[in-house]
Amino acid sequence: MSLSRFSSVFLSGLVALMLAWTSGPVLSAAAEDVLNEAEEAAGFAREAEARAWEAVEKAESSAARAREYARQATSLDKSEIRSVDYDIGSYQGQVRNGEPNGLGIFYYDTGSRYEGQFVDGLFEGNGVLYFLDNDDSHGDRYEGQFRDDVAEGFGVYYFQSDYTAEGDKYAGQFIDWAFETLGVYYYLESPFWRGTTGAGDFSDGYNQGYGVFEYAGDNAFAGDRYEGQLLDDLHNGYGIYYDNNGEVTYAFWKDDQAVPNRSVVLGDQDASEPESGETTLGGVIFNQGGGTKPSETPDDETPVEEVEDEIEDEMVISSLDPEVTDVPDEVTDEPETVIEEAVPQDGDSSEQVLLAQEMLQNLGYDVGYVDGVMGPQTRNSIIAFQEEVGLPVTGEVDETLIYALTTAVSLTRRIGGLGSDIVSEAPAVNLELWATGTGFVVSSTGDIVTNHHVIEDCEEIRVGDLGQARLNGFDEDNDLALITVSVSEPLEVASFRSQPKVSRGESVVVIGFPLHGTLSSFGNVTDGMISALSGFNDDFREYQFSAPIQPGNSGGPLLDRSGNVIGVVSSELVSGSAEDVPQNVNFAIKAAIVEAFLGAHGVEYLVTPSEESLDVAEIASNAERHTFLVECWGNPEDY
């Protein structure tokens, strides 16, 4: 915001208003209109201010997580660190499939660096980006959420001051590095304005829409407050200005200046927020005249001429992609777009909207930001869900919707559909479900182990409610496959047993998804024991175990009584393998073979000693967080 520009235009406007005061008071219907419009705009501004401070809480929380991931990235053990070189810098940290995945640090040739989470070579998750040395944003720092190499979500941006130890700060929401939707800008660098805040709607890096300015610092405006419409960081549109001397100005504002023929000054008033209906107070309207007034709602507010001044806080951001992303220099969106997305409709509380967003996202709907704010994407997702399950299509959050979502989430926790009697929806019209199996997560960034025979020749692989997976490697001889899903948050991982050695007769547990569509959709748990330390025909790569399994268990974990993985379920003895087939003769690939397979593909896995004995229910409860249904989809013509 150009606060120097504010001081000049506001003072000139205030002088005009005080000169007009001497001409004597005039009370009219036009005065009442101005008072009403300004108070309405101020009400919307206070609502935006409240949501902005809620966004600040989320931003500070994201920044804290970013600092923690940055700390972990800088504290990696040497055995975990791999190097990858790029044209614009170098990477040090966890690597999978030749790309940064997990935690690490990217060092730019300019001297800047990023510390935090990576997915497939991109800044993804939470992290800290320091702009140093030769970077155009020298000394600035961003802490928060990243998506595809850019600041996206909630976070905090710190500006480096050229004059003091502390620069300005913004906390709130970001879209492609721009301050967007809701947030608070803190003016901290200049002693003249230090402590001033602009809270409310943001668009393309500007206070734009509705918001509140609280003025502070070593100046005559300290203690003043503006509530109303904003454009380009300036008072533009209807609003109320509370002067620290008790004077209140209701006006239509243009670039921080009250328009004289659309302004009312109430003298000798308490500077607190006026109560609803206090528009009958004695006052003065100056040069009353024409001019349009905005409609009753913020969606149809009077357009304000756009200002093309250069943004003072321009950020030039580098990434692993050498293409530079800048904050736009011009405002291109109308303020009402921001307001429409930010204001909850039809009386929906933010808690209800947030709950609905979380469950819709779990069901695979794109709700945009999960922030408790009703916007077009959230409303469209609600409508799509209501149509899918046969509810009345209202696009609203109510008790019926919450109940339906809760039911749907509980039914889809492990199968990706709306019930065990419903076949999973085909990812494409020409595909059908060929086979199902089980897989378990071995890295927080989305690596999953299953059997090769489960995903062999699939045109598309899907993993439970995690969505589509890609095949990253396989070992046909050992019947192993490594598949990967894209994740926005770290996944729970299975831990392999480090010690002691597996013994005959020790208890084991199997969890998986056998006979999908017939048996339980939430997973099936059985227990038994290690029958032999070698498999069929004395195959040393396998264990024989007695826990019952059926088709669909393939690829699931074989767990010891501490819940650690000792093998991957692969096969059972069936008729034709022996003249008299005994029951519960099953085989699992030993964990040592699986660990070697993961190491060959650059996957860092977790290893834990087995020291305590848990009951089966607790083992199952822990295992279901990292064990998923795996679906193989293919073209029926190729079957």
Q: What 3-state class would DSSP assign to 482?
A: strand
Query: Which three-class secondary structure string do you get for 617-629?
Result: HHHHHHHCCCEEE
Same domain, 455 and 374: no
Provide the pLDDT for residue 173.
Answer: 93
Same domain, 609 and 556: yes
Same domain, 501 and 572: yes
Phi/psi of residue 63, nearest 5 degrees: -65, -40
Examine residue 529 and state whether it is found in any structural domain, yes or no.
Answer: yes
> In angstroms, rounded to a whole number, what is the distance separating the alpha carbons of residues 496 and 595?
8
Lowest-confidence pick of 31-35, 340-344, 546-550: 340-344
What's the rounded mean pLDDT across residues 169-176?
Answer: 92
Q: Give per-residue pLDDT as tens, 32-50.
A: 888 899 999 999 999 999 9
Query: Which three-class secondary structure string do you get for 145-179?
Result: EEECCEEEEEEEEECCCCCCCCCCEEEEEEECCEE
Examine residue 326 and state whether it is found in any structural domain, yes or no.
Answer: no
Examine residue 329 and state whether it is found in any structural domain, yes or no.
Answer: no
Lowest-confidence pick of 129-143, 149-163, 616-630: 129-143
Same domain, 510 and 593: yes
Provide the token pair at 604.
């860092």
- Dihedral (CA of 61, 211, 41, 328) sign: negative
Last residue of a domain, one of 300, 335, 352: 300
Question: What angle, 0 to 180 degrees and rounded to 10, lies between the N-to-C axes of helices 376-389 and 399-411?
Answer: 70
Provide the pLDDT for residue 161.
Answer: 67
Q: Give per-residue pLDDT as tens, 589-615.
A: 999 889 888 888 888 889 988 988 899
Report the half-sphere exposure of 615 (CA within 13 A, side-chain side): 2
Examine residue 119 and state whether it is found in any structural domain, yes or no.
Answer: yes
> Would the pLDDT of 319 be above 80?
no
Same domain, 270 and 172: yes
**Domain containing residue 407: CATH number:** 1.10.101.10
**Taking the complete model, does pTM exceed 0.85, yes or no?**
no
Provide the pLDDT for residue 566.
Answer: 95
Strands 99-108 and 113-119, by their bridges, are: antiparallel
Task: Name, of 124-138, 169-183, 407-421, 532-546, the range with top average pLDDT.
Answer: 169-183
> In angstroms, rounded to a whole number, what is the distance separating the alpha carbons of residues 451 and 554?
6
Examine residue 424 and state whether it is found in any structural domain, yes or no.
Answer: no
Provide the pLDDT for residue 467.
Answer: 87
What's the rounded mean pLDDT across residues 61-86?
Answer: 89
Q: Would you place residue 372 in the very low, low, confident or very high pLDDT band (cuts 50, 70, 90)? A: confident
Same domain, 525 and 385: no
Q: Give per-residue pLDDT as tens, 623-634.
A: 988 999 999 888
Provide the pLDDT for residue 164.
Answer: 56
> In angstroms, rounded to a whole number, what is the distance separating the alpha carbons of residues 448 and 455?
12
Provide the pLDDT for residue 123.
Answer: 92
Last residue of a domain, one of 235, 270, 300: 300
> Would the pLDDT of 306 be above 60?
no
Q: Would you place residue 31 in the very low, low, confident or very high pLDDT band (cuts 50, 70, 90)? A: confident
Provide the pLDDT for residue 365.
Answer: 80
Higher pLDDT, 288 or 197: 197
* Residue partners of 506: CB distance under 8 A and separation at least 6: 529, 530, 560, 561
Q: Would you place residue 163 in the very low, low, confident or very high pLDDT band (cuts 50, 70, 90)? A: low
> Would the pLDDT of 412 be above 70?
no
**Domain containing residue 507: CATH number:** 2.40.10.120
Provide the token pair at 482.
């490594």
Q: Would you place residue 336 in the very low, low, confident or very high pLDDT band (cuts 50, 70, 90)? A: very low
Q: String of b and e for 508-535 (b: at least 16 CB within 10 Å)?
A: bbbbbbbebbeeebbbbbbbbebbeeeb
Provide the pLDDT for residue 136.
Answer: 53
Give the H/E segment covering residue 634. strand 627-634
Tell me the residue type at 160. Answer: Q
Examine residue 554 and state whether it is found in any structural domain, yes or no.
Answer: yes
> Would the pLDDT of 509 be above 80?
yes
Give the H/E segment covering residue 286. none
Same domain, 179 and 30: yes
Name the residue among 257, 240, 278, 265 with its Cα closest to residue 25: 265
Higher pLDDT, 238 or 401: 238
Higher pLDDT, 176 or 638: 176
| Whether the Cβ atoms of residue 77 and residue 87 lie closer than 8 Å to each other | no
Task: Name, of 135-139, 252-256, 426-430, 518-522, the range with top average pLDDT.
Answer: 252-256
Lowest-confidence pick of 88-102, 173-187, 350-364, 414-428: 414-428
Same domain, 245 and 373: no
Examine residue 173 and state whether it is found in any structural domain, yes or no.
Answer: yes
| Whether the Cβ atoms of residue 512 and residue 588 lie closer than 8 Å to each other | no
Last residue of a domain, one of 300, 324, 355: 300
> In angstroms, rounded to a whole number, what is the distance separating the alpha carbons of residues 629 and 521?
9
Strands 606-608 and 495-497, by their bridges, are: parallel
Percent of the chain at pLDDT above 70? 74
DSSP 501-562: ---TT-EEEEEE-TTTTTS-TT-EEEEEEEEESS-GGG-TTEEEE-S---TT-TTPEEE-TT
Provide the pLDDT for residue 346.
Answer: 42
Higher pLDDT, 390 or 168: 168
> In angstroms, rounded to a whole number, what is the distance separating the alpha carbons of residues 252 and 229?
9
> In angstroms, rounded to a whole number, what is the distance separating the alpha carbons of residues 109 and 86?
10
Same domain, 401 and 451: no
Same domain, 179 and 98: yes
* Residue partners of 595: CB distance under 8 A and separation at least 6: 496, 605, 607
> Would the pLDDT of 307 be above 60?
no
Provide the pLDDT for residue 433.
Answer: 83
| Whether the Cβ atoms of residue 459 and residue 469 lie closer than 8 Å to each other | no
Examine residue 305 and state whether it is found in any structural domain, yes or no.
Answer: no
Provide the token pair at 224.
């003043």
**Domains identified in the chain, total number:** 3
Lowest-confidence pick of 5-9, 89-93, 120-124: 5-9
Same domain, 171 and 204: yes
> In angstroms, rounded to a whole number, what is the distance separating the alpha carbons of residues 347 and 364?
26
> Would the pLDDT of 310 be above 50?
no
Strands 206-214 and 225-231, by their bridges, are: antiparallel
Lowest-confidence pick of 100-109, 219-228, 517-526: 517-526
Peptide bond into 294 cis (omega under 30): no
- Dihedral (CA of 52, 54, 58, 60) sign: positive
> In angstroms, rounded to a whole number, what is the distance separating the alpha carbons of residues 558 and 548?
12
Name the residue among 414, 346, 354, 407 with its Cα closest to residue 378: 354
Q: What 3-state class would DSSP assign to 251?
A: strand
What's the rounded mean pLDDT across residues 122-142?
Answer: 79
Lowest-confidence pick of 128-142, 281-295, 342-356, 501-515: 281-295
Lowest-confidence pick of 187-201, 410-424, 429-443, 504-518: 410-424
Provide the pLDDT for residue 489.
Answer: 86
Same domain, 294 and 257: yes
Residue 305 CA to chain centroid, in angstroms? Answer: 34
Give the H/E segment covering residue 92. strand 89-96
> Would the pLDDT of 444 be above 70?
yes
Q: Give per-residue pLDDT as tens, 88-102.
A: 999 999 988 788 988
| DSSP code for 274 | P
Name the residue among 373, 37, 32 with its Cα closest to residue 182: 373
Phi/psi of residue 406, nearest 5 degrees: -60, -45
Which long-range contacts does 617-620 make (Cβ < 8 Å, 24+ apart)? 618/563, 619/509, 619/511, 619/559, 619/561, 619/563, 620/509, 620/511, 620/523, 620/525
Q: Would you place residue 471 in the very low, low, confident or very high pLDDT band (cuts 50, 70, 90)? A: very high
> Would the pLDDT of 578 be above 50?
no
> Would the pLDDT of 302 be above 60?
no
> Would the pLDDT of 295 be above 80?
no
Residue 93's domain comprises 3-300
